[in-house]
Structure 1
């Protein structure tokens, strides 16, 4: 599921070379787990350790950027607050759900989250906090404006955006992530993921959809 000083859209800030380095770091995490070192990343990415320190700071900085890069693959489709309708709101939620399921079911995210869980509370590093802050918390910051827009347009009804987000997140994830982390080999095909995204969105709208219809109607 992915901290520098702020929540940023990593894909729009990084250069192509930096993205390639972070992809190399992700591959190493899959292959070697918590044995990730600056030296190993520099060797795999064919760059110097000095360059890594210049770009990302220390190892935690590199891990943060790596998690942010992975999380940036979950897209939040922008919505027009003035002209928002149910179709565009539904499409935005479905895209978010689909992207998130694809990311968490990837070998990269499974390996990253396993390492983060094993480090949580161990004092080894801050990877658990980094993944939590730049994964689940960052995604909430990105999707809540869409939920707020839906509420302002009279399409959604809720008193707490965080609670609404948690409900949607739960409907999308169900037990998928924990089963994957425990080694269950689920069939996460594009068709299955697309169907799950539609189902979760429809369930969320059934729970939070405005009963009186959009404002002005």
Structure 2
């Protein structure tokens, strides 16, 4: 059976992944809010199975957020043999991946729903989004930055500050604009170009002269 590990380290079967994809599809169609009944109907499974796999509705939403966040990953690299080109490529891969995910209809629906719920004080979904989204993504990229520093390719005093700088260069105002319904060119070519631009700007700020860049 096909399985995948979510950011919490839990194994998801192909059937459970299909359920979470059904949740995301419903969020896009219904503007965010979903019920266990609607998910069971869309995923062709019983509500009992949903409760067994994910607990209550908040547990299902938490698993959905983790599943969406798990799609953002840094590129492959060998920490022991990291060179300038490999570092740049890994950062570009992360940047392009992250931009594609945050600008997708599913992420937009998730974020709008979380913001609305947080504003109404109805649940801790905002904290769940931060913990399993932005903070979890940071834990995935920070080792790349630390490896680059250990290899003498980039230099910075604080990993968190360097990560926030990189994220700011990559994201710019894209996320807030898509959340507000603005139309942007987010084609694969445009995303790739933006990812490369942001990476080169980051390397211009933090590079030691051994990393290639066109900033």
Deviations 1:143-183 (A, max 9, x none): 00010000000011000000000000000000000000011
Instruction: Kindly state the Cα deviation for residue 109 of structure 1 after the two structures are TM-superposed.
Output: 0.7
**Partner residue of 1:54 out of 49, 52, 55:** 52
Distance 2:92 2:8 in 1: 22
Distance 1:76 1:179 in 2: 24
Instruction: Kindly state the Cα deviation for residue 132 of structure 1 after the two structures are TM-superposed.
Output: 1.1
Distance 1:78 1:185 in 2: 32
**2:73 corresponds to which residue?**
75
**1:3 corresponds to which residue?**
none
Q: What is the number of residues matched between the two proteins?
A: 206
**1:86 corresponds to which residue?**
84
**2:140 corresponds to which residue?**
142
1:146-185 equivalences under 5 Å are 146-185=144-183
2:12 pairs with 1:26: no
Distance 2:186 2:12 in 1: 29
SS at match of 2:120: coil
Question: Which stretch of structure 1 is more off in the superposition, 73-82 or 37-46?
Answer: 73-82
Distance 2:164 2:172 in 1: 11
CA RMSD of aligned residues (A): 1.5
Structure 2 length normalisation: TM-score? 0.91
**Partner residue of 2:186 out of 172, 188, 203:** 188
Contiguous gaps of at least 5 residues in structure 1: 1-5
Structure 1 length normalisation: TM-score? 0.91
Moved over 4 A (4+): none
Distance 2:113 2:33 in 1: 10
Instruction: Kindly state the Cα deviation for residue 33 of structure 1 after the two structures are TM-superposed.
Output: 2.7
Question: Which stretch of structure 1 is more off in the superposition, 183-192 or 28-37?
Answer: 28-37
Deviations 1:110-167 (A, max 9, x none): 1111111111142322221111111110000010001000000001100000000000
Instruction: Kindly state the Cα deviation for residue 186 of structure 1 after the two structures are TM-superposed.
Output: 0.8
Distance 1:35 1:144 in 2: 33
- Where relative contact order (Cα < 8 A, 6+ residues apart) is larger, the structure is 1
Distance 1:40 1:195 in 2: 39
Distance 2:36 2:168 in 1: 35
**1:64 corresponds to which residue?**
62
1:100-115 equivalences under 5 Å are 100-115=98-113
Instruction: Kindly state the Cα deviation for residue 80 of structure 1 after the two structures are TM-superposed.
Output: 1.3
Counterpart contact for 1:77–1:92, Cα < 8 Å: yes
Counterpart contact for 1:78–1:146, Cα < 8 Å: no
